[in-house]
Amino acid sequence: MVQLALPSLRVALVGLALALASQSVLAQSLAVENAQVRAVPPVSTTTAAFMVLHNRGDSDLAVVDAHSPAARVAELHNHVDVDGVMQMRRVDEIGVPAGASTELAPGGLHLMLIDLMAPLHEGDEVEITLVLDSDETLTLSAPVKRIEVMGGGMPGHGGGHQGH
């Protein structure tokens, strides 16, 4: 029986090595800059995360999902103009073209953290895992910061939507 278990263990170890290798390839292809989570009042149950995604690879990438231990739900969102009113909409993916960058910012594309597990305080670090269309993942840490909206949005409301 030990002989049967050893090949299974080898297969598992090879699978783990391949998974780790794909993670490091991903980290070289997708870089994240200026990641931050909006500081919100302690009674708020939602917030938003912003960052710049850089695709250093030769193929287009798309973020299709996200997870965070800080929230029960993480969703990809965008703001759209509907009859002159900015509305937040969930999107299926956020594309990052090969050799280019995509910005997640107040009033545009962003990541919503919904049903926060505990209040977030300025200076806290929030772990976020991005899931790509290739099923690869990238985990990052984003500081909680006060984010002021410049231009058309209401300060503290990220373009008129409470919590981001």
CATH number, domain at 68? Answer: 2.60.40.1890
* pLDDT per residue as tens digits for the range 74-119: 999 998 888 988 889 999 999 999 999 999 999 999 999 999 999 9
Percent of the chain with pLDDT over 90: 62
Tokens read off for 51: 């960052």
- The reply to whether 160 falls in a domain is no
Q: Which domain holds residue 77?
A: 30-145
- The reply to whether 102 falls in a domain is yes
- The reply to whether 152 falls in a domain is no
Residue 6 clears pLDDT 70, i.e. is over it = no
CA dist 25 and 42 (Å) reads: 38
CA dist 26 and 107 (Å) reads: 28
Higher-confidence residue: 58 or 162? Answer: 58
- The reply to whether 50 falls in a domain is yes
CA dist 148 and 5 (Å) reads: 57
- The reply to whether 37 falls in a domain is yes
Tokens read off for 140: 């990052």
**Number of domains making up the chain:** 1
- The reply to whether 25 falls in a domain is no
Closest by Cα among 38, 10, 21, 32 to 163: 38
Tokens read off for 103: 């910005």
- The reply to whether 156 falls in a domain is no
What is the pLDDT, as a whole number, of residue 69? 98
- The reply to whether 120 falls in a domain is yes
Q: What is the pTM of this model?
A: 0.75
Q: With bands split at pLDDT 50, 70 and 90, how would you rate the model's confidence at 27?
A: low
- Strands of the chain, DSSP E: 30-38, 46-55, 61-67, 71-82, 85-90, 94-96, 101-104, 110-116, 125-132, 137-145
Tokens read off for 117: 């597990």
